[in-house]
Amino acid sequence: MINTSSKLSSLMEDNAAPKEENPYPKIAKSIFYTAVISGAITGIFIIGGINWFIPFCVSVIVQIIGWTLWHSFLDFLTAKHVTEMDTQLALDYTKHLCITPCAKCKKTVKMPINLNEPSTFKCEKCGEKNRIYVSIETVLVTDPLIEKSKVSIT
Ligand SMILES: [Zn+2]
């Protein structure tokens, strides 16, 4: 059996030190969109001959509240997705990767095995469905005849 430590180490490298992103272009873009939308709404009121100041202020406030709610919703969805991925990853780490031969054609396959549920696979070579049985054996622990510290090279 081979454990998934190499997979874990590669994931840890991917998550190390997220890159800093310059927020100013994003803020400027957001202010630009808010100004354009508010300007368009205010333009309608100016053309209609109605006082434009209050609609402009309301438009800006509604957009800020709307964008805040929208980004909170996106953050919520992201957090939910990350939690689901973490749960799935934790479940995957309970499995061990096993290299096992097909019972019919002896082609070896790598299969993740969870000891709490039956593991099956369909052989890519012969197409037969296989089921993996795991047997656990015990052995007696013995002391080595020669201890490493007493061995000397002459
Ligand atoms: Zn096979």
Residues 101-135: tens digit of each pLDDT: 999 999 999 888 888 888 899 999 999 999 998 88
Confidence of residue 138 (pLDDT cuts 50, 70, 90): very high
Distance, CA 132 to ligand 1 centroid (Å)? 13
Q: Which of 17-31, 55-69, 139-153 shows the lowest mean pLDDT across its residues?
A: 139-153
Neighbours of ion ligand 1 (CB under 5 A): 102, 104-105, 107, 123, 125-126
- Domain extent for 106: 96-132
Q: Are residues 89 and 107 in the same domain?
A: no
pLDDT at 32 over 60: yes
Q: What is the pLDDT of residue 9?
A: 47
Domain membership flag for residue 145:
no
User: Which residues, 6+ apart, have CB-to-CB distance to 34 below 8 Å?
Assistant: 60, 63, 64, 67
Confidence of residue 14 (pLDDT cuts 50, 70, 90): low
Q: What's the alpha-carbon Rg for the chain, to the nearest Å?
A: 31
Q: Are residues 9 and 77 in the same domain?
A: yes
Give the residue among 51, 33, 31 at the shortest CA–CA distance from 42.
51
Distance, CA 110 to ligand 1 centroid (Å)? 13
CA distance 17 to 15: 7
pLDDT at 8 over 60: no
Q: Are residues 88 and 62 in the same domain?
A: yes
Q: Are the beta carbons of 142 and 151 closer than 8 angstroms? A: no
